[in-house]
Structure 1
């Protein structure tokens, strides 16, 4: 898969660590703010889906290919600067689906977003993969 023009790259998402138990990544607030100067909730959603999908891939590839099925985000507080860190942990890992909880925190360790991502594990890869 080409890394050119990937949304995670445009938002500055960096994967920090990967394991079957958790995936950790960071994202800068700068460049990802909404018009009022706060971290855009959609950017938090992209971080959450990136980490949760990566976790699903660790559990399903190469036999099955994970695709996002449902993402729900609760935004608890705002962030205006620095880096945010997301930690994805599995809630359920099955043959056909997996669900992860992703907690996004600011540099002071305060929770700014809690997300839940469910992925479908497909038998075939999407076109273009």
Structure 2
């Protein structure tokens, strides 16, 4: 099971110009005070940006996150978190994306994600 499956993150839209994800809040997402752990906001933002960034890279290359800055604006206790990510810059080497996280149309967090376009790893591991 990968991280997206484990957390219950759904890919609603993935294009070069926009990514939309959703995640119903579950008990496993909460920290001890009953609110969604801030790391969940960052995972959602970086995941959305990474999916979009990888839709923009040339064959044989991948986009990997190199920096994420997340602003937690409103505590989340329940509901469905929606994420919308759009690119500010898509270059040959770097991409910068903005993510907005909402619950019931209320902005709960924002994030800026920088990704680097690098050669895809070769899978020559022996098992």
Q: Scaled by the length of structure 1, what TM-score is found?
A: 0.89
Distance 1:26 1:38 in 2: 17
Corresponding residue for residue 36 of structure 2: 39
Gaps of 5+ in 2: none
Query: Deviation at 1:21?
Result: 1.4
Which structure 2 residues correspond to residues 68-107 of structure 1 after superposition, within 5 A?
Answer: 68-106=65-103
Corresponding residue for residue 118 of structure 1: 114
For the aligned residues, what is the CA RMSD?
1.7
Deviation digits for residues 9-38 of structure 1 (CA, Å, limit 9, x no counterpart): 111100001112100000121131111111
Which structure 2 residues correspond to residues 13-24 of structure 1 after superposition, within 5 A?
Answer: 13-24=9-20
Distance 1:26 1:61 in 2: 27
Corresponding residue for residue 58 of structure 1: 55
Gaps of 5+ in 1: none
Alpha carbons 1:97, 1:120 under 8 Å: kept: yes
Alpha carbons 1:8, 1:46 under 8 Å: kept: no
Q: Scaled by the length of structure 2, what TM-score is found?
A: 0.91
Larger radius of gyration: 2
Corresponding residue for residue 11 of structure 1: 7
Q: State the 4+ residue runs in structure 1 displaced beyond 4 angstroms.
A: none
How many residues are treated as equivalent by the alignment?
124
Alpha carbons 1:8, 1:47 under 8 Å: kept: no
